[in-house]
Chains A and B, each alone.
Chain A
Amino acid sequence: MLENIQATVEAWPFLAQGLWVTIQLTVLGSALALVLAIILGLMAGAQHKALAVPGRIIIEFFRGTSLVVQLFFIFFVLPQFGVDLPGMVVGVLALGLNYGAYAAEVVRGSIASVPRGQWEATTALSMSPVHRMRRVIFPQAWALMIPSLASLMVHLLKGTAIVSVILLQDFTFHLDQLRRVTDTTWAYAVVGLVGYFVLALVLTLVMNALEARAKHRLGRGPSLREILSPTPTSKDNLSTAGSAI
C-alpha cells in the first residue's frame, strides 16, 4: 500500500501530464463537437431537402462508424493520401466528429421541441428564418439541450481514453505506465477511477451551472448567483425580511 502511494507520488508529474492531455482532448473535442452539432443539427432540421439530406447522411455516417475505426482511419489511412496530422489533432477531430454527430441529434430534437406557438409568433411578427432561430428558437432550445449535451460530454471524456491506441500519452496511457510499477488494482481501480471521476464531476457541475443559467433566462428557476450563494438572497426573501423589520 505504502509502496503504491510512493510510486504514485513519483509518477505524479507524468500522471499530471496525462491528465492535461485528457483535459485538452475533452475541452477541444467538445468544442468541435458542439460546433459540428449545431451546424449538422440545423441542417438536418431544415425545411430544404438540399440541407436536410446531406446533414442526415453526415450524422448517420459518423454515428454509425465506431470511434476507434475513425481514429485509425484519420491516423493511419489519411497519411497515405498525404494528410499527416499530429496525434492531438487526430484525437480532437475523431472525438469531435463522432460525438458531434450524436449531439447533432440532440440539437435537432431540441429545436423541434420548441413549442409550435413560438414559431408561429415569429411568423406573425415577420421575422426572417435566421432572425427567428438566433433570437427566439435557439435560446429556448439551448435550455432543453444542455442536459443531454452534458451527458454526451461525460461520454466524450471517457472516450478520450481510447486515443492511447494512437500513441497519444493521455491519462490512461500514464495509468498503464503506473500499473507496471504498482499493480492493476491500484492503478486503474484507485488512481484511474478517482482521476476520471473528478474530471467528470467538474464537467457535470459546469454543465449544471450552464443549465441553471439558461433556464433562469427563460424565467424558470433561480439565477446562478442565487443558487451559489450560501444564504438565500432572492428578492422574495429580502422583501419578507424587510417587511418583518
Chain B
Amino acid sequence: MPTPTDTAAAPIIEFRDVEKRFGDNVVLKDLDFHVNRGERVTLIGPSGSGKTTILRLVMTLEEATDGLILIDGDPLTHRIVDGKRVRLSNREIKRTRTRIGMVFQQFNLFPNMTVIQNITESPIHVLGQSKAEATRRAKDLLHQVGLDDKADAHPSSLSGGQQQRVAIARALAMDPEILLLDEVTSALDPEIVGEVLGILRRIAETTDITMLIVTHEMQFARDVSDRVLMFDGGSIVEDADPDTMFTAPSHERTRKFLKAVLGEGQIGTR
C-alpha cells in the first residue's frame, strides 16, 4: 500500500523525452511528465493531440520511437544501455504490463466467452489464480458494477453500458496498479454515460489505483482528477489542478479549447 514516502519516492509513470511518430507524422514530441502513485490524472485536448497515444504507449499497444517510459522506476519497453536505446525482451515487458490495465472506448469484450469467462480468463491463465478464486473475485466485481445476474450472459446480449461495466470489472480483476481509461463513455448513449461514470467515481473513491484518463466528460474529469493535463499538437500546454484548469486556465489555447467544449460562459462559473 502506498504511503506518503512512496509517493515522494518514484513516480509510478514517468515519460522522459518521449517521441512517437508514425512515419513522418510526429504525434508526440519530447514529452516529459509523470504521474504519482495513486494520482488521478486526466488528459484533455483536441482530437489528434496525442492523448490516446499516451495511454496506448503505457499499455504497450504502441512503442515510443524515442525516449523512455518508466513504470515505478523500471523501464517499460526500452532502456538505455551504454548510451544506446535498447528494447527489453518480451518477457520483461510482460512483467511490467501485468501491472497495468486498460478500458477501451469500444469495450472489446470477447464475444466467444460469457461475461464471467471474460473476467476470469486472464486471472486464471496469466496470474495463475485457481478457478474458484477467480470466479469469487469476478462475482464480487460484477456485484460492484451492478451486474450480478449477468455472469453467464453473452456479451452480445448486453447493452453498451453493461458491456462497458463488464470491461471495467475485467480490467480490475487483474488487480492493476495503473488503470488506463480511454474515452470509455464515447461509444455510449448519452443516458447511459452516467451509470458508467458513477461506477468509475466509486472506484476512484474506494481504491488507490492510479488512473490515467482520456475523456470528453469535463465534469467527470473535474470531479475525479487530482491533476489535468491540457494537450495540443503532441505536447503539454498546461498542467494544473482541475479547479484551476476549468475555472482559471492560464493559457489562451486552454481557454479556447474549454470554451469550444463547454460552451461560451462556462469557464469560471463554478
Q: Which of A123, A125, A131, A218 is B112 in contact with, Cβ under 8 Å?
A: A218
Instruction: Point out the residues of chain A lying under 8 angstroms from B113, CB to CB.
Output: 135
Which parts of A126-143 form the interface with B (CB within 8 Å)? 126-128, 131, 135-136, 139-140
Nearest CB in chain B: distance from A119 CB, A: 9
Q: Does B101 sit at the interface, judged by CB under 8 A?
A: yes
Nearest CB in chain B: distance from A143 CB, A: 8
Instruction: Point out the residues of chain B lying under 8 angstroms from A120, CB to CB.
Output: 59, 61, 104, 108
A24 to B88, CA, bound (A): 51
Q: Does A206 sit at the interface, judged by CB under 8 A?
A: no
Which parts of B8-51 form the interface with A (CB within 8 Å)? none
Nearest CB in chain B: distance from A130 CB, A: 10
A140 to B155, CA, bound (A): 14
Q: Does A180 sit at the interface, judged by CB under 8 A?
A: no
- Does the CB pair A220–B156 fall under 8 Å? yes
- Does the CB pair A125–B154 fall under 8 Å? no
What 1/0 mask marks residues of chain A from 214 to 231 whose CB sits below 8 Å from any chain B CB?
000111100000000000
Q: Which of A127, A128, A219 is B157 in contact with, Cβ under 8 Å?
A: A219
Instruction: Point out the residues of chain B lying under 8 angstroms from A123, CB to CB.
Output: 59-61, 97
- Which residue from chain B places its CB closest to the CB of A125 in the assembled complex? B122
- Does the CB pair A126–B94 fall under 8 Å? yes
Q: Does A124 sit at the interface, judged by CB under 8 A?
A: yes
What 1/0 mask marks residues of chain B from 101 to 117 whose CB sits below 8 Å from any chain A CB?
11010101111110000
- Does the CB pair A136–B126 fall under 8 Å? no
- Does the CB pair B104–A125 fall under 8 Å? no
- Count of B residues near A, CB < 8 Å? 28
Q: Does B232 sit at the interface, judged by CB under 8 A?
A: no
Nearest CB in chain A: distance from B9 CB, A: 25
What 1/0 mask marks residues of chain A from 107 to 120 whose CB sits below 8 Å from any chain B CB?
00000000101101
Q: Does A9 sit at the interface, judged by CB under 8 A?
A: no
A213 to B112, CA, bound (A): 11
Interface of A is mostly: helix
Q: Does A205 sit at the interface, judged by CB under 8 A?
A: no
Q: Does B125 sit at the interface, judged by CB under 8 A?
A: yes
- Does the CB pair A121–B156 fall under 8 Å? no
- Which residue from chain B places its CB closest to the CB of A124 in the assembled complex? B102
Nearest CB in chain B: distance from A217 CB, A: 6
- Which residue from chain A places its CB closest to the CB of B95 in the assembled complex? A126
- Which residue from chain A places its CB closest to the CB of B123 in the assembled complex? A125
A218 to B111, CA, bound (A): 5
- Does the CB pair B170–A125 fall under 8 Å? yes
- Which residue from chain B places its CB closest to the CB of A220 in the assembled complex? B156
Nearest CB in chain A: distance from B35 CB, A: 18
- Does the CB pair A127–B112 fall under 8 Å? no
- Does the CB pair B156–A218 fall under 8 Å? yes
Q: Does B68 sit at the interface, judged by CB under 8 A?
A: no
Instruction: Point out the residues of chain A lying under 8 angstroms from B230, CB to CB.
Output: none
Nearest CB in chain B: distance from A82 CB, A: 44
A135 to B170, CA, bound (A): 16
Instruction: Point out the residues of chain A lying under 8 angstroms from B157, CB to CB.
Output: 219
- Does the CB pair B112–A217 fall under 8 Å? yes
Nearest CB in chain A: distance from B234 CB, A: 22
Instruction: Point out the residues of chain A lying under 8 angstroms from B171, CB to CB.
Output: 124-125
Nearest CB in chain B: distance from A184 CB, A: 51
- Does the CB pair A125–B156 fall under 8 Å? no
Nearest CB in chain B: distance from A109 CB, A: 19
Q: Given contacts A124-B59, A218-B156, A219-B154, are A140 and B111 in contact (CB under 8 A)?
A: yes
Q: Given contacts A126-B122, A135-B121, are A121 and B111 in contact (CB under 8 A)?
A: no
Q: Which of A121, A123, A135 has the most CB of B within 10 A?
A: A121
- Does the CB pair A127–B125 fall under 8 Å? yes
Q: Which of B61, B108, B121, B126 is A118 in contact with, Cβ under 8 Å?
A: B108
Using a CB–CB distance below 8 Å, which chain B residues touch chain A? Answer: 59-61, 94, 97-98, 100-102, 104, 106, 108-113, 121-122, 125-126, 154-157, 170-171, 174
Given A118-B108, A124-B101, A219-B157, 15 new contacts (CB under 8 A): A115-B108, A117-B104, A120-B61, A120-B104, A123-B59, A123-B60, A125-B174, A126-B94, A126-B97, A126-B174, A128-B94, A131-B125, A135-B125, A220-B111, A220-B156
Top 8 nearest A-B pairs (CB, nearest first) are: A219-B156, A219-B154, A121-B108, A125-B122, A117-B108, A124-B102, A139-B112, A218-B111
Using a CB–CB distance below 8 Å, which chain A residues touch chain B? Answer: 115, 117-118, 120-121, 123-128, 131, 135-136, 139-140, 217-220
Subset of 14 A-B contacts with CB under 8 Å: A121-B104, A123-B61, A124-B59, A124-B101, A125-B101, A125-B171, A125-B174, A126-B97, A131-B126, A135-B121, A136-B112, A139-B112, A219-B154, A220-B156
